Structure 1
Amino acid sequence: MSEITKVRAVIGTDRYKTVIQIDNHILIGDEPTESGGTDLGPDPYEFILAGLATCTAATLRMYADRKGWDLEQITVELSLQIDKKGAAQTTNILQELHFIGDLDEIQKAALLNIAEKCPVHKMLTNPIAITTKQI
């Protein structure tokens, strides 16, 4: 295992408000009001999408910078759809990219290809093993 990231999430009695600590960063997660939360922060699915969007944008920025391309801005928009059928479910993520800069069609196609190379994209599209234990 080459990289270890640790995240700690603590929830008390304040409904679904969860305090998340990642290194020296503190985030608040919650559930939307229609799920009984108070919407004080993103829900778990939004955090996953935010991680993918951040990784994709950074990967594209690194690639364009290395190539010396005129890419002023990258916008990554993600949406999630979960189709449940009994115990099974299918998850679909739509990732839409918008580029501002002087890019030709070949450069844009290369960026679309590179977007799928970001580490979080690779993690989400490959088998994941989750081990749960009490500490």
Structure 2
Amino acid sequence: MIALDNSTKLREVVVGSDPANHDALVGHVDTSKFAIGGPDGAGHISPGPNPYDLLSASLAACTAMTVRFQARRRKLPLERVEVGVSFHHGAQGERDAFKRTLLLEGELDAQQRAFLLDAANLCPVGEILGISADIHTYPDTATTGHNATTQATYVDDLAELEIPNINPD
């Protein structure tokens, strides 16, 4: 087992203009780089995951790690975990929500599967996001009936931002 080092320095994600393409954004974490998609302010959509995609990916990654950790800790026969996450705006006056679907492969019985579905709710990123949005978790075979909202669109939300009039003196 790997011991976790609590003295590890804090990591910072930096997002800025891509030197190769000034209309695009690129994110950096240590030596890793990734494109960030979305509107560029000039009528184009840059390729890559937009901020809602990145938020959903964070929840999916944290959930997969948490489920895998709990399975190993309990010595459960989980062979593979896959987590799908989508972000949805709540109906007027309701909270936004994440729909999270877990695919659990291995010789798991019903009790073990239920335990791992519950373990998904222990994800630290989910704890943070759950403060302002609901997180609904489903097994991969469930029909969710989660149709009260539509999937959130970052470009549409950005277009709805009210930009104040700035009058230069």
Question: What's the TM-score once normalised by structure 1's chain length?
Answer: 0.78
2: CA distance, partners of 1:83 / 1:67? 36
Match of 2:119 in 1: 114
2: CA distance, partners of 1:100 / 1:7? 33
Q: What do the CA deviations read for 1:49-68 (whole angstroms, capped 9, x no partner)? A: 11111111011111101111
Give 1:113 shift.
0.9
Say whether 1:70 aligns with 2:84: no
Say whether 1:99 aligns with 2:104: yes
Aligned alpha-carbon RMSD (Å): 2.6
Match of 1:14, SS state, is: strand
Q: Which has the higher helix share?
A: 1
2: CA distance, partners of 1:126 / 1:19? 28
2: CA distance, partners of 1:23 / 1:49? 21
Percent pairwise identity: 30
- Which of 125, 128, 148 lines up with 1:123 in the alignment? 128
Q: Does the Cα contact within 8 Å between 2:37 and 2:50 map onto a contact in 1? A: yes
What letter matches 2:53 in structure 1? E
Report the number of matched residues: 121
Say whether 1:82 aligns with 2:69: no
Q: What do the CA deviations read for 1:33-79 (whole angstroms, capped 9, x no partner)? A: 9x73132x111110011111111101111110111111111111111
Match of 1:14 in 2: 22
Question: What's the TM-score once normalised by structure 2's chain length?
Answer: 0.63
1: CA distance, partners of 2:117 / 2:32? 31
Find runs of 4+ consecutive structure 1 residues off by over 2 angstroms.
2-5, 11-15
Match of 2:70, SS state, is: helix
Q: Does the Cα contact within 8 Å between 2:87 and 2:99 map onto a contact in 1? A: yes
- Which of 53, 65, 72 lines up with 2:60 in the alignment? 53
Structure 2 unmatched ranges of 5 or more: 1-6, 133-169
2: CA distance, partners of 1:62 / 1:109? 15
Match of 1:37 in 2: 45
2: CA distance, partners of 1:37 / 1:113? 38
Match of 1:25 in 2: 32
